[in-house]
Structure 1
Amino acid sequence: MRTSSALRHITDKLHCVDSDVWERGVHLRLRMNIVELGDGRLWLCAPGPIGEHIGLAIGALGEVSHIVAPNLNHYKFVPEAKRRFPNAVVYGAPGLATKRPALPIARTLEEPHEVGGGMSAIHIQGMPDVNEFVFYHRPSATLICTDLVQNVQDEDGFMTRLLYRAIGSWKKFGQNRYWKYRTRDRAAARASLERVLAWDFDRIVMAHGDIVQTGGREKLRASLAWLFG
């Protein structure tokens, strides 16, 4: 079962859609981000369910030219997004085309991710099981990530709350135990995240949890004490 809320305006040129997905009794809230690149083009990251009303709302903003599967975990709704926006180019994280060869991936994400609109990208190294790319939207001083951090403050269902407690993500901002466990090369991960922290961002939007509207860079730095300490 899945449902999507309305298209939500975050700030100038940046929007999102929050979706509710239930799998095996666990409720997951997912966030898809949309950036207006200019010239009527849209960049869509970590697709979620796209029903008719969501598709029309996104279409009213412009034409989706880029669909991004930013890591090796968030790809389930890529085919649906491609069907909805057939002219878009689909980008997949390194290794995703091999992991899921049926996905309509046209290009592998790489640095620099030159799509315009003040967007920059960094590949988080040292986690080959995740291979996440994070993005900086310079016009809004926003870090756009997927699983790099979570900020789950409220969720429906006992099993969901139990899951987030088990991975250390319940009612707090930061990286969960899964992320830490999957970090194979701490030096490489640290070097990547030092580059991320060099970006001048204030806001953080992520796939799971509440948006951090201010103080994002300081909060991210504090959450990485386990890696930098």
Structure 2
Amino acid sequence: MPWRQLDDDVLLGQFPLRAFAIDFARNVTLLRLRDGRVLIHSTAPFSAQDVEVMRAFGEPCWLVEATRMHDTFARAGCAALPDVPYLTPNESLRGVAAHPLLPPPAAWDGEIDLLPLEGLRGTNEHVFFHRRSRTLVVADSLFHFPAETRGWPRFFAQHVMRLPQLVGMSIFFRLMIRDRAAFEDSMRKVLAWDFDRIVPGHREPIQENARDILRASLSSRGFNS
């Protein structure tokens, strides 16, 4: 099973997603509200068993795509959960009808904060903060490869993505920043949240000291945060 629990109210599923002969993994993060309703962050080719796991965790009420770049499994994900509203940064992804992500559902008030990252071209990424678990969920604005990564994946992360410490913002994402000041302002708002864990859209979560790691990563690239 690809599922593991990171916190009482946070469940992570990891699904294969290969590119450049590397499994980058698609992370699907479930955030549970106090009343048991669940936000599902990102789509994947969910099996019937995956759906059972998600429904056992709580009541799936929102299926969310946080960026235009994460539509690979939009059709399969929505087909597996046909009764769950699909929320995205734009009206449709891969031809799948969707509801707007903004404004966020009123049910999230006081439990899940949502922030669009300004100053980007093409991606329109949004980030989520689950207050009770102190968990920040992002899409492509941060990568974290495990320290034991070896061979071609390690070379690609360090020398192509330009992540010498295997964690941080890839060169591909940095190239999508068109308004540096607007992006820095968004990141200052993110860093004002009291999070200690980050779940990126791919590979491994950062389980502790995540805010310090994000701040250091931004600083190393010359961003004022």
Could you tell me the TM-score, scaled by structure 2's length? 0.88
SS at match of 1:56: helix
**AA aligned opposite 2:106:** E
Shift of 1:41: 1.8
Aligned to 2:51: 55
Which residue in 2 is equivalent to 1:45? 41
Task: Give RMSD over aligned pairs.
Answer: 2.1
Paired amino acid for 2:87: Y
2:130 to 134, 137, 145: 137
Q: What is the one-letter code of the residue matched to 2:216?
A: A
Equivalent residue number for residue 32 of structure 1:
28
> Structure 1: which 5+ residue stretches go unaligned?
none
User: Structure 1: which amino acid aligns with 2:198?
Assistant: I
Match in the other structure for 1:185: 179
Say which of 82, 85, 106 aligns to 1:86: 82
Give the aligned residue type for 2:173. W
- SS of aligned partner of 1:193: helix
Q: CA deviation at 1:141?
A: 0.7
CA distance in 2, matches of 1:145, 1:88: 21
3-state SS in 2 of match to 1:121: strand
In structure 2, what is the Cα distance between the partners aligned to 1:111 and 1:170?
Answer: 37
CA shift, 1:185, in A, is 0.3
Cα shift readout 1:138-180 (whole Å, capped 9, x = no counterpart): 001111111110011255873x445423111365211010111
The CA deviation at 1:49 is: 2.4
- Provide, for residues 87-120 of structure 1, a one-character-per-residue CA deviation record: whole Å limited to 9, x for no partner: 11111114x63xx461231x22225553327100
Q: Structure 2 residue aligned with 1:109, among 81, 86, 101?
A: 101
How much does 1:209 deviate? 2.6
Match of 2:16 among 16, 20, 25: 20
Report if aligned partners of 1:204, 1:211 keep a CA contact under 8 Å in 2: yes
Residue-by-residue CA offset, 1:175-194 (whole Å, 9 max, x unaligned): 01011111000011011111
Stretch of structure 1 that moved more, 169-178 or 13-22:
169-178
CA distance in 2, matches of 1:205, 1:13: 13
Task: Give the Cα separation in 1 of the matches to 2:74 and 2:151.
Answer: 27
What SS does structure 1 have at the residue aligned with 2:23? Answer: strand
Offset of 1:66 from its aligned partner?
0.3
Tell me which moved more, 113-122 or 199-208.
113-122
State how far apart, in whole Å, the 2-side matches of 1:139 and 1:13 are.
8
Structure 2 unaligned blocks of 5 or more: none
- Equivalent position of 2:64 in the other structure: 68
Secondary structure, in 3 states, of the residue corresponding to 1:73? helix
Across the two proteins, how many residue pairs are aligned to each other? 220
Q: Which residue of 2 aligns with 1:212?
A: 206
Moved more, 165-174 or 54-63: 165-174
Is contact 1:113-1:121 (8 Å) kept? no
- Seq. identity, %: 25
Contact 2:43 2:74 in 1 (8 A): yes
Structure 2 residue identity aligned to 1:137: H
